[in-house]
Structure 1
Amino acid sequence: MEKTGYFLTFEGGEGSGKSTQLRRLAKNMERAGRRIRVTREPGGTPAAESLRVALLSGVAKELGPLAEACLFASARADHVRQLIAPALADGYDVICDRFSDSTRAYQGRAGVSASQLDLLEELALDGLRPDLTILLDIDAEQGMKRADARRQSDNADRFEADRLQEHEARRQAFLDMAKDDPDRFVVIDASLSADEVEAIIAKAVTERLEIQFAPKLTQVSS
């Protein structure tokens, strides 16, 4: 695919602050004169949002991890074709909350093989890869405490409700991917304050993508 914009993704476990930092980065990049599209996975298009409901509600859980991975890939294929690829071709920078690395960390940990995940990515991505993946790393127990506080009275979704050991295993899966692909990933300590994390992300984006930010970063409420 032809693209002129940058494709950035945020990854990390539950409670790592992805949504907050994504919004802050989008505002700071806009202040730097970039045109931005913000999106999420699963979701981003009407069809993919419908699949999001089935996946996060737990309806698809009984089908098994491979079926879940296929549903994620189906949502991702529509997302790439309908939103991400056209935006990148039009010169927008696209910032996405989760992408294919999450499928590897979650469904890969649940037993879907690397070869199966490779095939699903080949079918869904049409060669698209993020230019930069920001991994917000946090101890699983601390992350889940944050996630619980954020939800307040809301019920945990399909993946938030998993055991702590599973969350920590996914964290390690993300770290392993970052170790194997250091040119794409930047790993950031998400236990730091939101302002500190924001500043580190801005520095990484400047160094990796040569985007110059305004001296004073824009603060977006958490």
Structure 2
Amino acid sequence: MFISLEGIDGSGKSTQAHLLADHLEALGHTVLRTREPGGSSGAEAIRALLVEGDPGRWSPVTELLLYNAARRDNLERRIEPALAAGQWVVTDRWTDSTRVYQSTRGGDRAMVDAMQNLVIGREPDLTFVIDMDPDTALRRGLARPGAEDRFEQLGADFQRTVRDGYAALARDFPDRVRIVDGDADPETVAARVRALLP
């Protein structure tokens, strides 16, 4: 099964991706853990271009192309081989992030979907959106060490718009997307995620 975790920056989705992979491994599954953008060596090189630096360094179309290049490399080199071998895949973000963030930043959702269909062609089997208060998430995101704060620099209003985008995404893909209340300690949220596994 291919599972993605989504949410606004600072929502705890990376922690939940880690805890979910641990849980699946404890059940005896072989799990590929990955992230987006990133996961493969080529995609990790592109990641630095996307998550560091000036928030306005790329136009929405250029950013979309970079995300798809990273995603395709990770899909070809790691995700498809793992799924073909019968492994589970847990990814911290996938195309849904691009759908939400690109639309929020003035991009074209139809173009995102067209690129997804043309270049990627694979949706997760199940997506968990970790939902939480945008102001709290922003404080968490800005408190993290490192330089990967390009989107946090866009502020609380941006976070609120992205949160609304994820709610709309759940309406667009009701068979796949599950909203999980992330306003709790990590283990409580992890239990909420596990309760929604098939």
The alignment's TM-score, normalised by the length of structure 2, stands at 0.94
**Which residue of the partner structure matches residue 61 of structure 2?**
66
Matched, 1:123 2:123: no
In 2, the alpha carbon distance for the partners of 1:43 and 1:9 equals 14
Conservation of the 8 A alpha-carbon contact between 1:41 and 1:96 = yes
Give % identity: 36
Amino acid at match of 2:26: R
Amino acid at match of 1:75: A
What is the Cα deviation at residue 155 of structure 1? 4.5
Q: 1:149 aligns with which of 143, 148, 161?
A: 143
Q: 1:160 aligns with which of 128, 134, 152?
A: 152
Q: 1:38 aligns with which of 30, 33, 36?
A: 33
In 2, the alpha carbon distance for the partners of 1:89 and 1:60 equals 37
Matched, 1:23 2:18: yes
What is the Cα deviation at residue 61 of structure 1? 3.7
In 2, the alpha carbon distance for the partners of 1:70 and 1:188 equals 30
Matched, 1:92 2:87: yes
Choose 1 or 2 for highest CA Rg: 1
In 2, the alpha carbon distance for the partners of 1:94 and 1:72 equals 19
Give deviations 1:91-111, integer Å, cap 9, x for gaps.
Answer: 010000000000011112112
Q: 1:180 aligns with which of 172, 183, 194?
A: 172
Q: How many residues align?
A: 198
In 1, the alpha carbon distance for the partners of 2:4 and 2:148 equals 23
- Structure 2: where are the runs of 5+ without partners? none
Residues 147/35 of structure 1: CA separation in 2 closer, same or farther (3 Å cut): same
**Which residue of the partner structure matches residue 200 of structure 1?**
192
Give deviations 1:6-37, integer Å, cap 9, x for gaps.
Answer: 00000001111111111111111111111100
What is the Cα deviation at residue 200 of structure 1? 0.9
What is the Cα deviation at residue 124 of structure 1? 2.4
Amino acid at match of 1:40: R
What is the Cα deviation at residue 62 of structure 1? 2.7
What is the Cα deviation at residue 60 of structure 1? 8.3
Residues 156/77 of structure 1: CA separation in 2 closer, same or farther (3 Å cut): closer
The alignment's TM-score, normalised by the length of structure 1, stands at 0.85
| Cα RMSD for the two superposed structures | 1.5
What is the Cα deviation at residue 170 of structure 1? 0.6
In 1, the alpha carbon distance for the partners of 2:147 and 2:89 equals 30
What is the Cα deviation at residue 46 of structure 1? 1.0
What is the Cα deviation at residue 193 of structure 1? 1.6
In 2, the alpha carbon distance for the partners of 1:162 and 1:131 equals 31
